[in-house]
Structure 1
Amino acid sequence: MSLSYKQRVIMNQQDKNISIAQRMISACSGSFITSLVVTPFDVIRIRIQQQEILPEPCCQQHFPKHYSYHLKTTPLLKQHPPELFWIHNKYCNAAENCTKITSTFQGFSQIIKNEGISTLWRGLSLTLLMGVPSNIIYFTGYEYIRDHSPISKHPLNPLFCGSLARILSATSIAPFELIKTRLQSIPTGTGTSQHVLTHLLKDSFELVRNDGISTLFKGLQITLWRDVPFSGIYWSSYEILKSRIAIFLNTDFNTNHQDDWKVFTTSFLSGSISGSIAAFFTQPFDVGKTRLQITMEENQQVKKTNMFKFLFNIYATEGIGALYSGFGPRVFKIAPACAIMISSYEIGKKFFKNGNNKIN
């Protein structure tokens, strides 16, 4: 057994010195800052990913009730093109000139110019609402499962536990994630964001009345295909990088107050690198999730298309680049999000460990 793995086991055993409630508080500590920093990148990512199915020009003053779908598509989609849910009325009377977003920072510039800077933080309230329960379930769930797993001493344990924790977390917030994705995809017109959100919530309740509660879980399957492997890859990479950087910096994750900066640095670097690696391997699923959640797809044959066929159709008709559209803003979002959350979590745990040791 390698030295780094031994240190990982020791660190995991030391984590048992804090309670579940203390872990929950630690998990929430970085949610607000993380959401504030990464929400603009989320908006840009979603806008880039929906461009492929937008009519041209993308934001005319008035949308026609039906538009011709002239992009490269499969024969099935030529007959029954996916329709953006906000394309008809009440959502968008946006600027006549809606320039195509070609990069993350060009997207910032265009949205600020055409729609106002506040649009970059659209969905922030929902992000915060999701962040608290999601991070509690995800971080505390991961460590609880990790410490009680029947394969807790196996090197693949982080992959298994991270994946299971993400299934629980993603399923619990799926309805909020659907509404947030749809909210961020709508270009700002004459109405305020609150006006758009009000209409969106009314439409969501109407869909639930007509088609059942399952409509709020649209895209969950592909979300799990994105988030479960992401979490497995993330936690496996994080545990390895954390132990190796900790050895290099001689980091004490326990009670040494002088090591707080080392704990932060070790966690921050490990979290950002691990998040970037996981984002690369799961990007195609992120593209598929966004497209599914912002389209109507009323045709039953399209609805029955399974996830792998859906992604293969994108690859076959639009190329591999389409499966990695929005990758830049997603990495700009994920790297700091993972870094801030995990470093806040580790610092929070260290704070509680110090307090518990003083009491004992």
Structure 2
Amino acid sequence: MNFSLDMSEIIEHDHDYETLPENSSLAVNLTAGALAGIGEHTIMYPVDSIKTRMQIINPTPQAVYTGVANAFSRIYTTEGIRTLWRGVNSVVLGAGPAHALYFGTYEICKDLFGANIGEGHHPFAHGAAGACATIASDALMNPFDVIKQRLQVHGSAYRNVLDCARTVYAKEGLIAFYVSYPTTLTMTIPFQVFQFSSYEYFRKVLNPRGDYDPKTHVIAGGLAGAIAAAATTPLDVAKTLLQTRGNSSDLRVRNCNGLSEAFKYIYERYGLTGFMRGMKPRVLSHMPSTAICWSVYEYFKWFITKRDRKQLPETLHLTH
């Protein structure tokens, strides 16, 4: 039996060759997600270090900064450029598996919630899928994030990631790695709802056909990251307080056990402006990092499935 394609079918398959797969395999999503997570966190890590420094409550006099440029200049001149990379190993160790789980969960839930049905916008389905993804990935990533922030603070006495993990566990117990998890979820769930729904919206507006287009993924990712980062900064300030409380000389900070206590202390200490601490470096960090993350993810998803899509028209010409 002979199978051949007419001109309309050839055009259709040529278009599919350049289109990102909506339902790629779990292995593809996991691999692309892991690579995206590592790329996102490592490239923008110095900005994240500055953000953490600026959010610390009751910093030492040597660690009081007036802005992003001032923080970078002072850290560079007094502590050396390598200081901005302290703790990056923790992120690399955690980001790969956490982001693999993150994007794998997202793609599964996006399909389950009906976000792949039709060509319209599905903000609630994308948002719900993003919430499920962050609940799963943050459970894995939270301990690595705690270690990262302990290494980022000014005057950190930990020699490396392993030393930090051992010391925190010995002095504060396992709870220290998860005391901020409820607060993290309180922040990251709305963050991911904003991010995923915004990204998918901008992606479809900028590229209705769904072709693989790096420019679209960069712009959509950057806008989504900026919106989500600005909206959730108050929760990030509280999370930083809880994750670095063991380094504080203030007994009240050291005894903060949850979001409500952290919010109350920040408000009493700094007022409403306290909840905006570190917003500029947070947005400056998340805007490019989210653009990088989505671009790397979409690229590897397209690249990994490229051969399969290329072979599709050839198989339809086979003679049986």
Shorter-chain-normalised TM-score: which range? Answer: 0.7 to 0.9
CA contact (8 A) 2:180 2:242 kept: yes
Equivalent position of 1:229 in the other structure: 190
SS at match of 1:173: helix
Instruction: Give the alignment partner of residue 114 of structure 1, picking from 78, 88, 106.
Output: 78
SS at match of 1:30: helix
State whether structure 2 residue 219 is matched by structure 1 residue 219: no
Equivalent position of 2:218 in the other structure: 268
Equivalent position of 2:129 in the other structure: 161
Equivalent position of 1:325 in the other structure: 277
Give, in angstroms, the shift of residue 315 of structure 1. 2.6
Instruction: Give the alignment partner of residue 346 of structure 1, picking from 274, 280, 298.
Output: 298
Summarize deviations over 1:280-317 as a string: whole Å, max 9, x none: 1100010001111111486799545x523531442344
**What runs of 5+ residues in structure 2 fail to find an aligned partner?**
1-15, 313-320
Structure 2 CA distance for partners of 1:303 and 1:322, relative to 1, 3 Å? closer
Equivalent position of 2:245 in the other structure: 295
Matches for 1:187-206 after TM superposition, within 5 Å: 187=155, 195=159, 197=161, 199-206=163-170
Equivalent position of 2:211 in the other structure: 252
Summarize deviations over 1:2-56 as a string: whole Å, max 9, x none: xxxxxxxx9999422x311112222233344323321101111111111x4125x
Equivalent position of 1:93 in the other structure: none
Distance 2:21 2:41 in 1: 29
Give, in angstroms, the shift of residue 171 of structure 1. 1.0
Equivalent position of 2:8 in the other structure: none
Distance 1:142 1:131 in 2: 16
SS at match of 1:156: helix
Give, in angstroms, the shift of residue 123 of structure 1. 0.9
Deviates more, 1:273-282 or 1:154-163: 154-163
RMSD: 2.7
Distance 1:122 1:345 in 2: 26
Distance 1:119 1:13 in 2: 39
Q: Tell me the matched-pair count.
A: 289
CA contact (8 A) 1:142 1:161 kept: yes
For residue 286 of structure 2, what is the amino acid of its counterpart?
A: I
Distance 2:63 2:25 in 1: 51
Give, in angstroms, the shift of residue 152 of structure 1. 6.2
Structure 2 CA distance for partners of 1:150 and 1:197, relative to 1, 3 Å? closer
For residue 276 of structure 2, what is the amino acid of its counterpart?
A: Y
Distance 2:167 2:64 in 1: 28
Distance 2:170 2:64 in 1: 32
State whether structure 2 residue 141 is matched by structure 1 residue 173: yes
Equivalent position of 1:314 in the other structure: 266
For residue 52 of structure 2, what is the amino acid of its counterpart?
A: I
State whether structure 2 residue 135 is matched by structure 1 residue 185: no
Q: Percent identity among equivalent residues?
A: 27
CA contact (8 A) 2:233 2:275 kept: yes
Give, in angstroms, the shift of residue 214 of structure 1. 2.5
Distance 1:339 1:300 in 2: 35
Give, in angstroms, the shift of residue 157 of structure 1. 0.3
**What runs of 5+ residues in structure 1 fail to find an aligned partner?**
1-9, 59-97, 254-262
For residue 49 of structure 1, what is the amino acid of its counterpart?
A: Q
Equivalent position of 1:123 in the other structure: 87
Distance 1:344 1:36 in 2: 13
For residue 45 of structure 1, what is the amino acid of its counterpart?
A: K
Give, in angstroms, the shift of residue 251 of structure 1. 5.4
Instruction: Give the alignment partner of residue 53 of structure 1, picking from 50, 53, 58.
Output: 58
Structure 2 CA distance for partners of 1:252 and 1:168, relative to 1, 3 Å? same
For residue 108 of structure 2, what is the amino acid of its counterpart?
A: Y
Under a length normalisation based on structure 1, what TM-score does the superposition of the two structures give? Answer: 0.73
Give, in angstroms, the shift of residue 353 of structure 1. 3.1
Equivalent position of 1:136 in the other structure: 100
Equivalent position of 1:67 in the other structure: none
Give, in angstroms, the shift of residue 331 of structure 1. 1.2
SS at match of 1:187: coil
Equivalent position of 2:310 in the other structure: 358
Give, in angstroms, the shift of residue 242 of structure 1. 0.4
Equivalent position of 2:10 in the other structure: none
Matches for 1:32-71 after TM superposition, within 5 Å: 32-50=38-56, 52-55=57-60, 58=61
Equivalent position of 1:149 in the other structure: 113
Distance 1:337 1:358 in 2: 31
SS at match of 1:336: helix
For residue 359 of structure 1, what is the amino acid of its counterpart?
A: Q
Distance 1:199 1:29 in 2: 27
